[in-house]
Structure 1
Amino acid sequence: MASKKAHHATGWAAGVIAGALVAHAGAAGPYFCWSILSLFAGLLGGTAPDWLELAWWSRSRRLWITHRTLTHWGVAWIFLLAFSYLALGHEPWAPLLFGFSAGGVMHLLADWPNPLGVPWIFGRHSLKWWRSGRFDLIVVVSSWLAAMCVSDFVFLNNVHNLKAISLMKSLPLWTWKTV
């Protein structure tokens, strides 16, 4: 599990991605209001798999469900993301649900490298790269790089992405030939 701060930071990145994709789908609305709302929904969704486990109706606020079970199920979050993306431009609730589910998927991606893993289809899967709370910087930087690439694609016509790829191809590492 990534730290609470890492989930907030990756939730912001998911919100930026969602807002850009809502605008790209033509569902941004007047003054990009739906894109902005999907950004905040992404932030909320970035922490949702954890706070959805809390029993808000009880005074003790204990977990009503075991951690990383139903609320961390990858298939449900990906289905919600795809369903809301297909509804963009047709339903008024779609940008909010798209941002929320993008944050949820980003949360699962941030939790995936740790040994506890997340339930994707039937069983729990882990990349087993590091323990909880370690290397949060890698997760946060990766999510923000993805947000910058998506935003560059949507708003700036891939100008910076193509320049970065061109720079990477010019590095000596890419010109090595295997014999």
Structure 2
Amino acid sequence: MFIAHAPSGYLLATHFVERARSLPVRASLAVAAGVIGGLAPDFDMLWFYLVDARQTHHHKYISHWPVLWLSLLMLALLWRQVRPSSASAVVLGLFAAGGLLHMVLDSVVGDIWWFAPFVDRPFALFTVPALYKPWWLNFFLHWSFALELAICAWALATWRRRQRARPIRGVR
């Protein structure tokens, strides 16, 4: 995935916010947590380019280990059980869910080490053949990019629907 991680985090968080009976946190903060969580695994690109000199596939870094995101999600759920009114638990839960969704989406055509650090084997649903140069053109011309565009369109439609439903300040 290249462009759909933030929109998918937005969709995940807005779905949660719209269905929650009550939240101990502002909806905007909850949505931001989902969006940032959806992007967070790729923050490792800074290390990949600036420190590691592209020596290790960035999906092998701990930020792309599903066990990290599952652990954070479990921590948030336990925290919420102990302190049901905890805003931090909700924010952490949405952040972790966004990170886990990132792993799922990357698994469509990108290698994810689902059992890292225990098993050193990547998994992907489909392979993108290397037909074009530069390398990223292979992804933009692959059918899976249509899935990314669909996620982006869905997020845009959701955002527009939410904007229309929002009351305009100062107008009664």
Per the alignment, do residues 112 and 40 of structure 1 end up closer, same or farther by CA in structure 2, a change over 3 Å counting? same
> What is the SS of the residue equivalent to 2:13?
helix
Cα deviation code 1:87-125 (max 9, x no counterpart): 2325331111111111111111111011x4211112321
> What is the SS of the residue equivalent to 1:54?
helix
Cα deviation code 1:23-59 (max 9, x no counterpart): 25x4x12xx51x431210111111111113424xxxx
Counterparts of 1:140 and 1:87, CA distance in 2: 36
Counterparts of 1:91 and 1:126, CA distance in 2: 36
Counterparts of 2:89 and 2:39, CA distance in 1: 19
Q: Which residue of 2 aligns with 1:94?
A: 89
Note the 1:20-99 alignment, pairs <5 A.
Answer: 20=18, 23-24=20-21, 26=22, 28-29=23-24, 33=26, 35-55=27-47, 61-63=50-52, 66=56, 67-69=58-60, 70-88=62-80, 89-99=84-94
Counterparts of 2:15 and 2:44, CA distance in 1: 22
Note the 1:6-17 alignment, pairs <5 A.
Answer: 6-17=4-15
Q: Which residue of 2 aligns with 1:162?
A: none
Cα root mean square deviation, aligned: 3.1
Q: TM-score, normalised by structure 2?
A: 0.62
Q: Which amino acid aligns with 2:11?
A: A
Q: Which amino acid aligns with 2:102?
A: H
Q: Which residue of 2 aligns with 1:168?
A: none
Q: TM-score, normalised by structure 1?
A: 0.60
> What is the SS of the residue equivalent to 1:40?
helix
Q: How many pairs does the alignment contain?
A: 134
Structure 1 residue runs of 5 or longer lacking an equivalent are 149-179
Structure 2 residue runs of 5 or longer lacking an equivalent are 130-138, 159-172
Cα deviation code 1:44-96 (max 9, x no counterpart): 111111113424xxxx7445883001211112212212321332325331111
Question: Post-superposition, which runs of at least 4 consecutive aligned residues in structure 1 deviate over 4 A?
Answer: 62-65, 142-145
Q: Is the 8 A contact 2:111 2:123 kept in 1?
A: yes
